[in-house]
């Protein structure tokens, strides 16, 4: 009896909910139970009855929630709660609150019912806390649950300091409103958007004093997070730190120095409190008529179109400090202008690079023997000449890089010079055309594997540059390419007889998924490409000249051996390409000054054209049978001559008696005169 009455006393010592505490009669003490048992045998009945009740209470189970499922999101403001009966339960109560155990939202006493509907619950996504109480043997026992209110809350917004304002000092108190449905806040303070490298705090208060803020006028980024249920909502803010920063200072080239050529790499210090840089390059103080570069956060820029006339070049280096642009100004001297025109012409079958320095009878003729190379095109960028070699017989695909300054200074004849670099790649397969974009990245058409490959400026600086396929099957069999002022790329290809495409700058790295905004084909390719029957005849050269796109129709025939004798003049606007006219006639040699036009080059004055078979008795447009003829030519047309469709224009370089013939991909001309 002593052990049992101890169990009874402890079993009934259970607390009820604070607002519904029950008054349970106190049991008699153990000693009294013993006395009663000995003095009144009949009292055993009472004791056994209490013992039975106590064991029953121990076996009882409080009710548990069935719906909504614990942790779920309410469907609306009115929610029906349902629970099981439990075991030994005589009554139920439901607490609903904004904190665990609270009933500030609702209190429902359901009696013996195991369901109830609660109306008017919040709909702002906050946490909702529910306690389900079960009355067992006169004692309230609870099970707790958490849910999310329906809807979404409203993130807290900053009230002070005003967004975008300048902070008062190194210590600032940030304050915000409560938002709606928010249980907690976090404050991020950083040097970049979303960062917290300056400060971080978290809690349920609506203000925070932040110390140690920068005082150099930089931009300070603040993110205010608000916990809505289980979701962190956020608002971004920018401020300007107190104080003033220090603008970046030019490091290279040395201020006051003379540029080596038409291109220069500029670099500068980071400055203090600076987030962005801009470079103005002008012919007068403060101007940017030569170049404007938004360098972002990178302290360097490359300018490729500097004058080469010995003039003064004015540079303004701007540094964004908070909301203020700081400026440092510099002057340089432009490189001396090349006194003579330089025409670079790939000699495919002769395996040489033909260079003509100057004009007329006084032009200096220089040739460079190319090691195991059949050159198809050439491009000069600053002080380097890039010669594209196409796989032919035993010679491989590669790009040879030469020192252009040495070649320009040649006195004539065969120049003994070796390439400074040889670029090879598994991405190369029958290379033809080459072009540089405004960022000094090299692009080359790989005809055999239907790719346009890029070698970035950074890669070109390496000993062994890597080529990346940026456009694939766009088009098949690409031949030549060029860039427009917006960074878009025009490409000619020989797919299905001929096609010309334009890709905006946003698409030129898209691989096989690239989408052109202009397309014109000589055969019907279906939706997405315009079709003009027979407009192209295995086109090779392509150039942007005098506002139009010019395409060289090289040849027809099963093996491309019938002269094309024609240029096509295209205009373009709002996604539509129109044929403005043609120059030459494939069926009438007398109407065409050229025979098998190949590469085109748009100079400052002339449209340059190389002709593979000019003056050839039996022209076959580069077919193996006419290699020994060693003929061909290079022409230069003015806009007036093109408009008049002039058939009498002097050649810059007649190939008769040279060694081979000009390559298919293109030529390059400096200082067009």
pLDDT in tens, 122-140: 988 888 999 999 999 999 9
Where does 494-626 show beta strands of DSSP type E? 499-503, 518-521, 530-531, 539-545, 548-556, 562-573, 576-583, 597-602, 607-611
**Kind of pairing, strands 300-303 and 264-268?**
antiparallel
CATH 2.120.10.30 domain span(s) along the chain = 342-670
Q: Of 465, 459, 468, nearest to 439 (Cα)? A: 459
Residue 349 has pLDDT above 50, yes or no: yes
CB–CB of 188/225 below 8 Å? yes
Q: Does domain 342-670 fall into CATH 3.40.50.2300? A: no
CATH 2.60.40.10 domain span(s) along the chain = 65-148, 250-333
pLDDT in tens, 174-193: 999 999 888 899 999 999 89
pLDDT in tens, 252-303: 999 999 988 788 899 999 998 888 999 999 999 999 999 999 999 899 999 9
592, 593, 595, 599 alpha-carbon torsion, rounded to 10°:
-110
158-240 maps to which CATH number? 2.60.40
250-333 maps to which CATH number? 2.60.40.10
> The sheet that has 518-521: what strands, in order across it?
478-483, 489-493, 499-503, 518-521, 530-531
Mean pLDDT across the stretch 240-263?
A: 90
pLDDT in tens, 372-423: 999 999 999 878 999 999 998 899 999 999 999 899 888 999 999 999 999 9
Alpha carbon of residue 258 to chain centroid: 36
- The CATH class, in words, for 65-148 is mainly beta
CB–CB of 395/372 below 8 Å? yes
User: pTM for this structure?
Assistant: 0.55
pLDDT of residue 504: 95
Residues 6 or more apart whose CB falls under 8 angstroms from that of 75 comprise 150
For residue 315 the two structure tokens come to 């540079």
């Amino acid at each position: 009896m002593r052990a049992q009455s101890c169990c009874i006393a402890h079993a009934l010592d259970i607390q009820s909910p604070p607002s519904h505490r029950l008054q349970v009669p106190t049991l008699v003490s153990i000693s009294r139970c013993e006395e009663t048992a000995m003095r009144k045998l009949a009292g055993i009945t009472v004791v056994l009855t209490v013992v039975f009740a106590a064991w029953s209470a121990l076996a009882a189970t409080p009710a548990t929630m069935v719906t909504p499922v614990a942790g779920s999101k309410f469907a609306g403001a009115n929610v029906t709660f349902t629970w099981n009966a439990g075991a030994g339960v005589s009554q139920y109560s439901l607490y609903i609150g904004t904190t665990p155990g609270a009933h500030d939202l609702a209190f429902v006493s359901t009696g013996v019912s195991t369901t109830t509907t609660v109306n008017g619950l919040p709909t702002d996504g906050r946490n909702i806390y529910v306690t389900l109480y079960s009355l067992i043997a006169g004692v309230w026992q609870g099970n707790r649950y958490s849910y999310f209110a329906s809807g979404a809350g409203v993130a807290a917004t900053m009230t002070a300091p005003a967004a975008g304002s300048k902070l008062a000092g190194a210590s600032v108190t940030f304050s915000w409103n409560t938002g709606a449905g928010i249980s907690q806040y976090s404050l991020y303070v950083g040097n970049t958007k979303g960062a917290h490298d300056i400060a971080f705090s978290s809690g349920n208060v609506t203000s925070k004093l932040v110390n140690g803020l920068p005082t150099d006028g930089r931009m300070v980024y603040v993110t205010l997070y608000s916990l809505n249920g289980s979701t962190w909502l956020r608002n971004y803010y920018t401020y300007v730190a107190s104080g003033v920063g220090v603008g970046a200072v030019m490091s290279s080239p040395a201020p006051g120095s003379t540029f080596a050529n038409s291109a220069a790499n500029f670099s500068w210090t980071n400055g203090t409190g600076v987030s962005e840089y801009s470079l103005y390059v002008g012919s007068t103080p403060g101007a940017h008529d030569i170049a404007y570069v938004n360098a972002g956060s990178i302290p360097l820029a490359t300018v490729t179109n500097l004058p080469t006339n010995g003039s003064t070049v004015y540079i303004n280096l701007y540094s964004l400090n908070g909301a203020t642009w700081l400026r440092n100004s510099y002057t340089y001297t432009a490189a001396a202008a090349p006194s003579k025109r330089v025409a670079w012409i790939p000699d495919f079958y002769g395996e040489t690079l033909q260079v003509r320095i100057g004009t007329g009878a006084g032009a200096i003729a220089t040739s460079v023997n190319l090691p195991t190379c059949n050159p198809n095109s050439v491009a000069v960028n600053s002080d380097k000449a890039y010669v594209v070699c196409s796989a032919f017989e035993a010679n491989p695909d590669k790009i040879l890089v030469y020192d252009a300054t040495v070649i320009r200074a040649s006195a004539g004849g065969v120049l003994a010079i070796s390439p400074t670099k040889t670029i090879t790649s598994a991405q190369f397969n029958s290379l033809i055309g080459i072009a540089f974009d405004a960022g000094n990245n090299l692009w080359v058409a790989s005809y055999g594997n239907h790719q346009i490959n890029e070698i970035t400026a950074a890669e070109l600086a390496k000993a062994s540059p890597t080529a990346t396929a940026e456009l694939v099957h766009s088009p098949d069999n690409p031949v030549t390419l060029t860039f427009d002022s917006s960074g878009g790329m025009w490409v000619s290809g020989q797919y299905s007889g001929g096609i010309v495409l334009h890709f905006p700058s946003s698409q030129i790295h898209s691989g096989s998924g690239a989408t052109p905004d202009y397309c014109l084909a000589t055969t019907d390719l279906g939706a997405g490409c315009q079709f003009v029957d027979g407009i192209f005849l295995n086109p090779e050269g392509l150039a942007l000249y005098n506002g139009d796109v010019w395409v060289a129709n090289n040849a027809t025939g099963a093996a491309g051996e019938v002269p094309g004798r024609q240029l096509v003049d295209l205009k373009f606007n709002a996604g539509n390409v129109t044929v403005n006219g043609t120059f030459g006639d494939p069926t009438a040699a007398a109407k065409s000054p050229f025979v098998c036009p190949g590469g085109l080059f748009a100079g400052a004055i002339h449209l340059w054209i190389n002709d593979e078979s000019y003056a050839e008795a039996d022209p076959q447009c580069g077919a193996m049978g006419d290699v020994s003829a060693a003929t061909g030519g290079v022409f230069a047309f003015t806009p007036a001559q093109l408009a008049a469709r002039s058939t009498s224009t002097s050649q810059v370089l007649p190939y008769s008696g040279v060694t081979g013939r000009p390559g298919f991909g293109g030529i390059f001309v400096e200082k067009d005169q």
